[in-house]
Amino acid sequence: MIKLKSEQDIILYRETGRIAGEILSTLKEQVKPGVDTYTIAKLAEELIIHKYQAIPSSIGQYDFKFALNSSINNVICHGVPAKDEILKDGDIINLDLTVKKHGFIADTSRMYLVGEVSPEARQLCKITYECMWKGIEQVRPGNTVGDIGYAIQRHATRNNFTVVREYCGHGIGQKMHEDPQIAHYGTKGKGQVLQKGMTFTIEPMINQGSRQIKHLADDWTVVTKDGKLSAQWEHTILVTDKGFEILTLREEEKEEFSKWF
């Protein structure tokens, strides 16, 4: 069942989203060669709890122990932070975190380029970011989840990349996963119709090679089957009466936002 958010809910939710976005911006200074992902995850946990008096809601979900997932290079999603996972020059990494405050959960992620990154890796991250924006652009009452998926898939394939289909965006609010599901591929006009008050994530996972995935032995971490790079960006979105609001929009993105809209 889809849970529409009230005006009072939205006032509270905005603060939760702002916090999540600010943390991803703060972590940028830590993402550099020689730093391990365990240290980054513990810093995120510290910020959520002590700076913002919020809850790192990913801790305890499915027995996960960290405030964020760290997915490097060919890891599509669910990368597990570790002391021996040390960033090196040329890596690309996605940090995906959730924050709970005022009873609402905000979910957001972004790519970081570590040191000198290859043109091919940089292009993948750029197109994936654009894919997310193409999807966001379709959010308005009366449009469908198929409109979102179609826009994302079209931009990815036009740039010779592929879309992961096994994982998708999702409704979010007082629970991490609510209805509806937001596939990152689809057909125009098909699927759930969007309504004012819906909140959900748009989080395309785009691969450099094949869209095929593989689970590692931990049965949690997901990697590309062909070993090529993958990228992901994510925001929590609110459907408004005329369009959308990005609840997790970061300060440094506001200029980018004005370019698109």
Which tens digit of pLDDT belongs to each residue from 187-235?
999 999 999 999 999 999 999 999 999 999 998 999 999 999 999 999 9
Count of structural domains, the chain: 1
pLDDT band, residue 165 (cuts 50/70/90): very high
Angle at 4 between CA 67 and CA 166, to 5 degrees: 50
47-64: average pLDDT: 95
CB 20 within 8 Å of CB 106: yes
- Residue 254 in any domain: the answer is yes
Predicted confidence (pLDDT) at residue 9 exceeds the cutoff of 80: yes
Cis peptide bond prior to 180, omega within 30° of 0: yes
**87 located within any domain:** yes
Residue 165 located in a structural domain: yes
Pure H helices in 117-247: 119-136, 145-158
At residue 66 the predicted structure's pLDDT band, cuts being 50, 70 and 90, is very high
The boundaries of the domain holding residue 249 are 7-260
Domain annotation covers residue 2: no
- At 4 the three-state DSSP class reads coil
Q: Which CATH number belongs to the domain containing residue 76 in this structure?
A: 3.90.230.10
Closest CA to 111 of 99, 129, 85: 129
Percent of the chain with pLDDT over 70: 98
Q: Is the CB of residue 72 less than 8 Å from the CB of residue 100? A: no
Quick check: 178 pLDDT over 90?
Answer: yes
Give me the residues paired with residue 162 across strands: 207
- Look at residue 1 and tell me if it is in a domain: no
* 209 within domain boundaries: yes
Sorting pLDDT into bands at 50, 70 and 90, what band is 1?
confident
